[in-house]
Structure 1
Amino acid sequence: MSLTVPEELVRKAQDGAMTDDEFLACVQNSLPYAWSVVERLVKEFKDGATVAEDGTVPPNDKAWGELLRFAASDSMRGAVERKYGVRLAFQNCCKTGMFAPGATAEYDEFVSPRAQILNQKPELINC
């Protein structure tokens, strides 16, 4: 299961009354390591960056799993993108990029096959 969802949030979702902020609070509570990656990237944006990358290798299997679940979810990624006005991209489960809407060349490079190949490392074989 990707998220631990409180019953109240399930009811709101059933009623069509759930907000992105409520959803993101659930993501933050359920996937604290993955959310810490988002926070690191957002901090760089607040410091004026138009591109931020995080390549921190997760410290344990639980953290790897969180980042994988986050990376694999269009809804989680989309909610973060809407909240912060950015684009997210993943080369693998431990290389995350956050891009300002105008940083199209940088985004295109990050998601290119070339960048994917250059990001491969033996220690990430199970990533």
Structure 2
Amino acid sequence: MSLTVPADLLEKAQRGPVSDEEFIACIRDSLPFAWSVVAELAERLSTDGAPFADNQKEPPDEQARGQLLRLVGSDAMRGAVERYFNVRLAFQNCHRLALFDPAARSAYHEFVSPRAQLLNQSPELVNC
């Protein structure tokens, strides 16, 4: 299961739409490691002035890695996180999550290119 959904939020979703704020709270509470990575990158992006900030640290365990994969693997979660932080997400391999300033189109397209994916490969990442 991707998220731990509180009963009241599930009931609300069964009746109709839920707000991004409610969905973000569910993501943050369900995927604390993934949320901490995203929040740290968002902070770096806003303070460094670079076109993007990326995570190069491997998750501490498989549970943490799973959280990161679930976050980036869901279009709904990705979209909500992108709107919340006003960023564009990109992902390579098992843990290289990057947040881009929406205006940094060139840097984003370079990061998500086949060339960048190939250059980001290493033997230790084959089975991650």
Does the alignment reach a TM-score above 0.5?
A: yes
Aligned to 2:80: 79
How much has 1:15 moved relative to structure 2? 2.1
Would you say how many aligned residue pairs link Structure 1 and Structure 2? 127
Large movers: runs of 4+ above 2 Å:
none
Q: Could you tell me the TM-score, scaled by structure 2's length?
A: 0.93
Query: Given that residues 34 and 67 in structure 2 are in contact (C-alpha distance below 8 angstroms), is that contact kept between their aligned partners in structure 1?
Result: yes
Unaligned runs of 5+ in 2: none
Identity over aligned residues, as a percent? 57
For residue 3 of structure 2, what is the amino acid of its counterpart?
L
| TM-score normalized with structure 1 length | 0.94
Q: What does 1:47-126 correspond to in 2, within 5 Å?
A: 47=47, 48-126=49-127
- 1:46 offset after TM fit, Å? 2.5
1:10 CA drift (Å): 0.5
- 1:34 maps to 34
How well do the aligned residues superpose, as a CA RMSD in angstroms?
Answer: 1.2
Measured in 2, the distance between the counterparts of 1:57 and 1:125 equals 13
Structure 1: runs of 5+ lacking an equivalent:
none
Shift of 1:91: 1.1
- Contact 2:94/2:125, CA 8 A, preserved across alignment: no
